[in-house]
Amino acid sequence: MQEFMELGNEIPDATLNDIISSQKPNQCCVLVYTSGTTGKPKGAMLSHDNITWTAAHASRAGDMQPAEIQQETIVSYLPLSHIAAQIYDLWTGIKWGEQVYFAEPDALKGSLVNTLKEAQPTSHMGVPRVWEKIMEKLKDMCAQSGFMKKKMLSWAMSISLERNLSCSGSDLKPFRTRLADYLVLAKIRSALGFSHCQKHFSGAAPLTTETLDFFLSLNIPLYQAYGMSETTGPHCMSGPYVYRRCSCGKAVPGCKVKLVNEDADGNGEICFWGRTVFMGYLNMEDKTKEAIDDDGWLHSGDLGRLDKDGFLYVTGRIKELIITAGGENVPPIPIEDEVKKELPIVSNAMLIGDQKKFLSILLTLKSTLDPDTSDPTDNLTEQAREFCQKIGSKATTVSEIVATRDQAVYQAIQEGIDRVNMKSTASVQHIQKWTLLERDFSISGGEFGPTMKLKRPAVLEKYKDEINSFYKE
């Protein structure tokens, strides 16, 4: 920091003032490269106006407070090369005078909770995979607890979830709910470093219903934000006063959102308009014209639906939409989420079936992470082992199950798939074949991008032999 401060002595004030006064709102302020989950990364040019406007207005839509009202405290731990962390950790912090703690480089390998306990943030943001990992860790700890602790936790969480689902957003909690929170849930939030946290945000990808409800049962509503690098981060926001379960909220005041090419179910491509929309892609005029139409609307490539009150629900990506050989459109995410909900041993699920006669699915099992590399190990998590015990399997590793095709586990998975199929409205959405992979998805394995988004084309290529085996005559 001292070296950084000394740089200021080397530049005369007049030179610095000239640099500052030469900046124009419509000039490029920062380049943010897209994650490349659907193709080659592109350099999104964000203007000074994009950055300053979004930092001020999107953050207020999420109820972030200026320092004179309440100093917000946050922890920065996500990559600053991505727009989510840039807007949330840096630009919003500068705008409102936040206190920002920078986590250790190994934050996502386990040290983050120590920083959270020290910092006591008033607001916290995570990508879905971060929230899922916290959930899995808590479930593992619960599985290792004694009988009475399990009973107490189950009682407290069920009361809290029931209350939050029946009157979400209400401060009127009956005695039972307050007691459950005081005796059990407040202690869990304290152990996570969330004692003073009033706002918990999630962005970059949709959350599963299981994750939303798990945190809701701890009295931690997760407020989803939705946008892209090309919208300077959040264009739609949830917050304490704009919340609907499973929705990513409404367009930030001053911005607009609409759907085009809607289908019979009301799903269409999500389009954005407003001062969040970027200048264009660096040296890619053709790609810019593809993205922004003549009326200034940015086409996201994502599918979603709007309810009557303007709340947006993201249902998938157009490029991820599976179009079967029979011409049927199948959005994969709802089916994948349903599989994970039915089978708590499953970590990741990826639906296959584009230009195919039927649907199939790749599954991975929940395994512990290597503390040094964060790579998945062969050992099942406590929750997965508990699942195995319940169905009569003694397996403790992924390889045991896959190598021996463990009868109890394979039968339980097939029964879970059958239950998912029974819930679907059309037979074209039935999963006919599945396989268990030997290793969970990871960044190092190439299945996830840096923000933990699933790279579907990479998975298709990596597991092409397994996929081809589904469709052999």
DSSP string across 180-236: HIIIIIHHHHHHHT-TT--EEEE-SSPPPHHHHHHHHTTT--EEEEEEEGGGTEEEE
- Of 65-79, 186-200, 320-334, 411-425, the range with the lowest mean pLDDT is 320-334
Residue 305 lies in a domain: no
Give the model's pLDDT for residue 372.
79
Give the model's pLDDT for residue 145.
82
Give yes or no for residue 319 having a pLDDT over 80: no
Residue 335 lies in a domain: yes
For residue 448, report the phi and psi dihedrals to the nearest 5 degrees: -110, 145
- In the structure, what pLDDT confidence band is assigned to residue 326 with cuts at 50, 70 and 90? confident
Residues 6+ apart with CB under 8 A from 310: 250, 251
Residue 376 lies in a domain: yes
Range of the domain at 437: 322-470
Interatomic CA distance for residues 124 and 202, integer angstroms: 9
Average pLDDT of the residues in 437-445: 92
Average pLDDT of the residues in 82-108: 91
Interatomic CA distance for residues 359 and 357, integer angstroms: 7
Residue 448 lies in a domain: yes
The chain-wide mean pLDDT, for the chain, equals 89
Beta strands 123-126 and 199-202, pairing class: parallel
- Would you give the distance in Å from CA 53 to the centre of its chain? 24
Interatomic CA distance for residues 77 and 97, integer angstroms: 18
Decide if 109 contacts 375 (C-beta within 8 A).
Answer: no
| Adjacent-strand bridge partners of 350 | 362
First to last CA, the chain: 65
Interatomic CA distance for residues 270 and 341, integer angstroms: 27
Give yes or no for residue 238 having a pLDDT over 50: yes
3-class secondary-structure state, position 84: helix
Residues 6+ apart with CB under 8 A from 130: 108, 452
For residue 21, report the phi and psi dihedrals to the nearest 5 degrees: -70, -20
- Of 9-23, 297-311, 312-326, 334-348, the range with the lowest mean pLDDT is 312-326
Domain count, the chain: 1
Residue 167 lies in a domain: no
Give the model's pLDDT for residue 410.
96
- In the structure, what pLDDT confidence band is assigned to residue 38 with cuts at 50, 70 and 90? low
For residue 205, report the phi and psi dihedrals to the nearest 5 degrees: -165, 160
We report the CATH number of the domain holding residue 432 as 3.30.300.30
Residue 330 lies in a domain: yes
- Of 29-43, 151-165, 322-336, 350-364, the range with the lowest mean pLDDT is 29-43
Give the model's pLDDT for residue 173.
58
Structure tokens at 32: 């943010």
Q: Using one digit for the tens of pLDDT, what is the confidence trace for 266-306?
A: 889 999 999 999 999 999 999 999 999 999 999 998 889 99
Give yes or no for residue 170 having a pLDDT over 50: no
Q: What percentage of residues in the chain have a pLDDT greater than 90? A: 57
Give yes or no for residue 186 having a pLDDT over 70: yes
Give the model's pLDDT for residue 311.
95
Give yes or no for residue 366 having a pLDDT over 50: yes
Give yes or no for residue 428 having a pLDDT over 50: yes
Residue 90 lies in a domain: no
Residue 460 lies in a domain: yes
Give yes or no for residue 198 having a pLDDT over 50: yes
Interatomic CA distance for residues 233 and 371, integer angstroms: 31
Give yes or no for residue 114 having a pLDDT over 60: yes
Interatomic CA distance for residues 309 and 175, integer angstroms: 32
Give the model's pLDDT for residue 168.
47
- In the structure, what pLDDT confidence band is assigned to residue 169 with cuts at 50, 70 and 90? very low
- In the structure, what pLDDT confidence band is assigned to residue 35 with cuts at 50, 70 and 90? low
Give the model's pLDDT for residue 141.
83
Give the model's pLDDT for residue 4.
84
Give the model's pLDDT for residue 117.
93
Give the model's pLDDT for residue 358.
92
Give the model's pLDDT for residue 37.
55
